[in-house]
Amino acid sequence: MILENGIVRTMDASLPAARALAIAGGRIAGGVGVHETALASPEAVDLGGRCVLPGFNDSHVHFPTWALAQRQVRLEGTRTLDEALERVARAAGDVQPGRWLRGMGWRSGDWSPATEPTKEALDRVTGDVPAALMARDYHSLWLNSAALARADGDLQVEGGVVERNERGEPTGVLREECAWHFRDTHVRPTDDEMVEASREGMRLAVSRGVTAVHDKDGWLGALRVFQRLHDEGSLLLRVWQSIPHAQVAEAAALGVRSGFGDDLLRVGYLKAFMDGTLGSQTARMLDGSGVEITSRAELEEIIRRGAEAGLPVAVHAIGDLANRDALDAFEATREVWQALGLRPRIEHAQLLAAEDIGRFAALGVAASVQFSHAPSDRDLADRFWARKTDGAYAYRSLLDSGALLANGSDAPIEELDPWAGICAGVLRTIDDRPPWHPEQRLTLEEALIATTVNPAWLARDERRRGKLLPGYLADLVVLDRDPFELEAEELPSVQVVATMVGGRWVHNPAPWG
Ligand SMILES: [Zn+2]
């Protein structure tokens, strides 16, 4: 197949742009020359002036959770508790007997008057239907009385918080480990539910130019879900899978090392958490506030055991102390993981002390960040991290220090939409307001590298993905215009036209009208 009459952005400095691209047997065959036109009957695709880029790789997705969230009550954008309750009330009638009412997306910091949700408020609109509503950052869970009754008082676990009222009763809000423990014990989706939702989610993701993801739902059984989709032929994109660090012994016993799998689905890395989040005010801070989920010493142990099993570690760290502890742990264990060529990463790296920024590059720890979080979180960050935001979402500073930046969405916290993320990285605003900390803006090329080249490197795929070079897998996206020809403000209007994975159109095959 030859894609011609457009602009091909290879993301490789040796030949950044080409007029055409030849594809043979699932791989890039090269630019178009004598060789390719001499083929018996190449299929020519007229790009009509459109732009071809390497397919987008979302470096941080909770894929089955995101796919399921497409079908749940969504509370994003609610401005009052009552508005949230109205949405829940509308959905409550549709819940089949015996099923849960599931929802997500609330953030009490967005509500005025300021208030925290309660089980009593929820009971009024749900009655006896058990309801579990996850906060937008996934670190708090809002339950009604019917839901709480399922736990029979068994709510408290280490590393978590059960909010209680003045009578000492649970208010209905659980945080951190308590929220996750409840969800995993009582509200866990079945594999069938996840497969069904993810099958549809695949189609939605590729329609947005996604050709690969680094999934974070290993704890939920995502590997089983993706394997079932793979078997039935509906795994449309490539997956680099996390597994929970607590399962490192099982992986080691089986001999499953990083990279095990095939071209589409591979086991990647261990996932761990240092702290909570900005929105729940549980990020672990140098000022002493926040929640510690994993200590520095515990992370060292996780890294060592991961290295023995041949698995790198990706660790969630939001607060400045959580990030420092994580960096300290990677530094203390560097002989172990560096010798094996493992590629560790800190997920989010949201707030960094000035003296820690340069340590990512110095150690060789990647910063797996989410460009769209900066403009989405700006109001909360200005409030909760007042006078500290110089080191918040500091993508430019990280890049200038030599750190490897990989961009993701953290879907369903943000939408799984890489182009929106790229625009957020370049513009640092998603509304009419001026950019937030404009000194941290990235160029379009830098934002694209973080969404194509660098995620492929993290998955050890740098010699076969992330660029449009001869011999590389033909994973690409066709955009309606060449974004490099546009003013930054115009970038959000660019549309994904078509997506190809391994030489096969997975979204909107050519020709295009
Ligand atoms: Zn996440």
Query: Can you give the pLDDT of all 513 residues of the chain as single tens digits?
Result: 999 999 999 999 999 999 999 999 899 997 655 455 555 678 999 999 999 999 999 999 999 999 999 989 999 999 999 999 999 999 998 888 888 999 999 999 999 999 999 999 999 999 999 999 999 988 899 999 999 999 998 999 998 999 999 999 999 999 999 999 999 999 988 899 899 999 999 999 999 999 999 999 999 999 999 999 999 999 999 999 999 999 999 999 999 999 999 999 999 999 999 999 998 889 999 999 999 999 999 999 999 999 999 999 999 999 999 999 999 999 999 999 999 999 999 999 999 999 999 999 999 999 999 999 999 999 999 999 999 999 999 999 999 999 999 999 999 999 999 999 999 999 999 999 999 999 999 999 999 999 999 999 999 999 999 999 999 999 999 999 999 999 999 999 999 999 999 999 999 999 997
Contact in structure between 21 and 6 (CB atoms under 8 Å): no
**Cβ neighbours, 10 Å, residue 75:** 23
Are the C-beta atoms of residues 279 and 135 closer than 8 Å to each other? yes
What gap in Å lies between CA 392 and CA 353, rounded to an integer?
9
**CA–CA distance, 402 with 400 (Å, rounded to integer):** 5
Nearest to 91 by CA among 63, 140, 127: 127
8 A C-beta contact, residue 437 and residue 374: yes
**3-class state of residue 74 by DSSP:** strand
163: enclosing H helix or E strand: strand 160-164
Q: How far is the CA of 176 from the centre of ligand 1 (A)?
A: 13
How far is Cα 211 from Cα 452, in angstroms, rounded to an integer? 10
Helix ranges, 32-161 (H): 34-37, 63-69, 81-92, 119-126, 145-151
pLDDT at 34: 47
Q: How far is the CA of 148 from the centre of ligand 1 (A)?
A: 25
137 C-alpha vs ligand 1 centroid, how far in Å? Answer: 8
Distance CA(429)–CA(372), nearest Å, equals: 9
Residues 25, 26, 29, 32, CA torsion sign: positive
* 30 CA → ligand 1 middle, Å: 37
| CA gap 417, 35 in Å, rounded | 37
Neighbours of ion ligand 1 (CB under 5 A): 216, 410
Going by C-alpha positions, the residue among 278, 225, 267 that lies closest to residue 244 is 267
Task: Give the pLDDT of residue 32.
Answer: 54
What does the chain come to in residues?
513
**Tokens 């909570």, residue?**
276
For the chain, the distance separating the N- and C-terminal CA atoms, rounded to the nearest angstrom, is: 19
Distance 11 CA to ligand 1 centre (A): 27
Q: Taking the alpha carbons of 298, 412, 190, 157 in that order, is the dihedral positive or negative?
A: positive
Structure tokens at 488: 């930054």
Is the distance from CB of 407 to CB of 422 less than 8 angstroms? yes
397 closest CA partner among 428, 426, 356, 431: 356
Q: How far is the CA of 371 from the centre of ligand 1 (A)?
A: 13
Q: How far is the CA of 138 from the centre of ligand 1 (A)?
A: 8
CA gap 259, 266 in Å, rounded = 6
Residue 62 alpha carbon to ligand 1 centre in Å: 6
Ligand 1 centroid – CA 406 distance (Å): 14
Before 412, cis peptide (omega within 30)? Answer: yes
Distance 15 CA to ligand 1 centre (A): 35
Rg from Cα positions in the chain: 23
Rounded to an integer, what distance in angstroms lies between the CA atom of residue 451 and that of residue 60?
11
pLDDT at 140 (0 to 100) = 95
